[in-house]
Every structure is written in structure tokens, then in C-alpha cells.
Amino acid sequence: MSVGSERKVESERRAEILDTAAIVFASAGLRASLQSIADACGILPGSLYHHFESKEDIFLELVRRYQTELDEIADQAVEQDAGSLSPEERIVALGTTIAGCAVRHRAALLLTLYEPPAGPSQELVQLASRTPAAINTAMLSILKAGRSRGYLRREVDLELLADRICQAMLHGAVGVYHRTRGAERVPAIRCRMLLHGLAVRSPEDARLDRSKARRAADEAIESWGEDGVPGKDDKAARIRAVARSEFARRGYDLTTIRDVAAAAGMSVGTVYRSIESKDNLMASILWSYVEKVTGGWNHIMGSPSTAMEKLDALLWFNINVVHRFAEEHQIQSLGLQLAPPKSPNLTWTFLAQLRQLKTLISEGLRARQLQTEDASLDMLARCAFALIWTPENIVHGAGIRGALRFTRDTVLRGAAKRS
């Protein structure tokens, strides 16, 4: 065999291993061993080490492939002649392509949403923390072109909208819903929800601010009070505070009790004597948060308000949740979608909230206050659920009032001009 042929075979084998590793990590979690990857490839671990010196080398290559494809998608979107496509068609097409890339590279996506596993090289840290600026820029370019053609409203912040659409497309691959029947429609539905809005008629801010649902949301927010700072001798509270930050940074699956102990400056034995297990530790962290979120949602949904007013109140309430409990929200919003972990502690609120949102959408459709696409109620509720939680960077960048204004201008009113 010639040198060129040998290199081609080596390159193909390396690509096969990467493809298999991506599948293993996406289905079994990022802690999957090299042995499990070798088994899935049908080779001995020694053969795998011939191509990759460590698991981190595989992580690096997976993230590089993912980010390279995102950059290529961005370049093609900018260079592509719009031709006869409408602004909406261009926005939806780019969004759908981004979502497809995220699904194909789910393992790499997870590595960029959390900090890499303990002890990573600086190269992996820098690569994984790189923001998807190219696709944001490409989306912003298309949005600006859409505004110049009179498609998008002047009031809408296009930079925030570009970021919001791209995040909605990428995060759709975090969970496993993309594997269900008909899920290929989800990216387009999410895009059009942000463009058209869920409200049949554009609601007035003053009226929404005075609604009983909004009052219920404010009452729930005010009931949170102020969290106390754990004292020096409050060992259990100290462990919970440190673990909360570690779970939010690394993810539940990738954080070990040893990581928590090191961050807290304690021995592993001391931590275990205080919390017994990682599941118990997670429960102690999320219990108060879950009570606050479910209590607020129940209070809003039980208010004598219209479906539109309740939806707006949920937007406001969720913005305040993200602002006040950023770490807990990060743990649950990403953790509940991962497979693994399978801990029931991560899914306490999701199914109940989804049922409430289905009821709300159904009521709004019957009252002709809400508009949606022709899709199952379950799909519509899942798409809406992903959008009524405003991303943390937008909440903290725009402030809670600015985030509400932006969310009303997209999720409720829609960014596109109404005919």
C-alpha cells in the first residue's frame, strides 16, 4: 500500500472513531470511558490510542469539527444570494441549518455549554468557551436585510434577536426531543414563534402591567425574600453553596463529590458525612428553588386573568427566576434535558409546567387570543416552553425590564411587522 493510501485509511479510521465517540458521548454522557468507545468501534483500546492519546484529544477534535461546521454555515449564509427567498424564509432556513448542526454534534455542543471535565488543558478550556460569534453575525446580517425590506419592526433589538434565535436553535439539541416523530419541524416553529408572536392582537404594555396575573407574579417574586449568607461554621450550607456553583459550571453528570470537596476546601469524607450522596446534595440545592418556581407558576395560572395575561406574567416571572436563581436555573434547564443524568431531582417542575402550558395554549386558542402553527399541542407547548425562559445573558445584559420588553416584542408581539 502506498504512503498516500495508508494516510487515507488512517484518516478514514480516525473519522470513524470520532463519529462513534460522538454517538457514545451523546447517549451515555461525557464521562463515558475510552474502553466503551473502543468497544463501540469494535477495536481494542490499544488501537484507539494509536489514533488518540487521550479522551481529551477526542474532545478537542469533536469541538473543532462542530465549530468549523458552524463557521462554514455562517459563511455560506452570508455569501448566499438571497434570490427569490423572503426574509422569513432566509431566517428560518439559517435557523434550521444551525439546529441540524447542533443535533449532529450534540456531544461537542454539551462540551461548550459547560466547563470541560476536571483537569482540562488550557487549549480545551479556550476552545470550549469560544462563543458562536460567526452564526450570530450571519443571523444578524440576515435580520438587518429583513428590516431594510420592511419585514421586521424598528422597535426590536436585532442583536438580541439574532442571539435569541441562535440560542434557541442550538439548545434544541441539548435534549432528546429531536429524536421524536415530527421533531424536524421544531426549529422552524420556534423561529416563526419569535417572528410572528403568540398573540393574535398586539397587547398594550400598560394593560399587561395592571393584570391580575402580573400582580400574582409580583406577589410570588416578593415572597422570595433575601437569602441568608451561610456562616463560617454552617458546614452543610457551605457545601450546598459550593456544589451549586460546581453543578452549574460543570453539569451534574461531570461533577464529582471530590470536585465539590476540593472547591469547598474539605475532605471527601467530611462532605459525604454531611450530604450522604450526590443525589441528596442535588435535592437539597434544588428543593427551595423548585418550591419557589412551582408556587409562582401555580399562583399565576390560578389568577382570574386571560390566557394572554397569564402568558405575559409567566414571561416576567421567569425572567426574575433567571435573574435571581441563575445557577439553579442553569442546573435544571440543561440538566433535565440530558440523558444521562437520569436523576429525578432534575425534572421536578418540567412535566407539571408543560401540562400547565398546554392548558394555557388551549385556552388561548379557544378564546382566539393566541395563534400558533398547525402542530400537535404537545409540540407547540414544548416550543413555547423553550422560548418563555429568557436566556441568562439577555436577562443580565438587558436587565429585567429590558428583557421583558424584548420578550414581549418577540414571544408575544412577534419581531415581524403585522399586516
Q: Are residues 219 and 141 in the same domain?
A: no
Looking at the domain assignment, is residue 259 inside a domain? no
Structural domain that includes position 306:
198-227+288-411
Q: What is the pLDDT of residue 84?
A: 79
As given in the structure block, the three cell numbers for residue 121 are: 488543558
Q: Are residues 79 and 203 in the same domain?
A: no
Looking at the domain assignment, is residue 47 inside a domain? yes
Looking at the domain assignment, is residue 191 inside a domain? no
Residues whose CB is less than 8 angstroms from the CB of residue 88 and which lie 6 or more positions away in sequence, other chains included: 146, 151, 192, 195, 416
Rounded mean pLDDT, 290-307? 94
Q: Are residues 313 and 383 in the same domain?
A: yes
| CATH number of the domain where residue 295 is located | 1.10.357
How large a percentage of the chain has pLDDT more than 70? 89
* Span 336-356, pLDDT tens digits: 444 333 443 444 567 788 899
**pTM for this predicted structure:** 0.88
Rounded mean pLDDT, 372-395? 90
The answer to whether residues 273 and 236 touch, using CB atoms and an 8 Å cutoff, is: no
Q: Which of 28-32, 171-175, 222-226, 384-388 has the highest mean pLDDT?
A: 384-388
Report the alpha-carbon distance of residue 43 to residue 47 in Å, rounded. 6
Report the alpha-carbon distance of residue 11 to residue 8 in Å, rounded. 5
Looking at the domain assignment, is residue 310 inside a domain? yes
Q: Are residues 216 and 338 in the same domain?
A: yes
Q: Are residues 223 and 361 in the same domain?
A: yes
Q: Are residues 77 and 11 in the same domain?
A: no
Residue type at position 91: I
As given in the structure block, the three cell numbers for residue 225 are: 425574600
Q: Are residues 127 and 37 in the same domain?
A: no
Q: What is the pLDDT of residue 5?
A: 60
Looking at the domain assignment, is residue 121 inside a domain? yes
The domain boundary residue, chosen from 132, 158, 174: 174
Residues whose CB is less than 8 angstroms from the CB of residue 54 and which lie 6 or more positions away in sequence, other chains included: 34
| CATH number of the domain where residue 46 is located | 1.10.10.60
Is residue 117's pLDDT more than 80? no
Rounded mean pLDDT, 135-163? 95
Q: Are residues 83 and 138 in the same domain?
A: yes
Residue 152: helix, strand or coil by DSSP? strand
Q: Are residues 167 and 215 in the same domain?
A: no
Looking at the domain assignment, is residue 187 inside a domain? no
Q: Are residues 10 and 68 in the same domain?
A: no
Q: How many domains does the chain have?
A: 3
Q: Are residues 87 and 210 in the same domain?
A: no
Report the alpha-carbon distance of residue 244 to residue 318 in Å, rounded. 19
Q: Are residues 332 and 219 in the same domain?
A: yes
Q: What is the pLDDT of residue 346?
A: 40
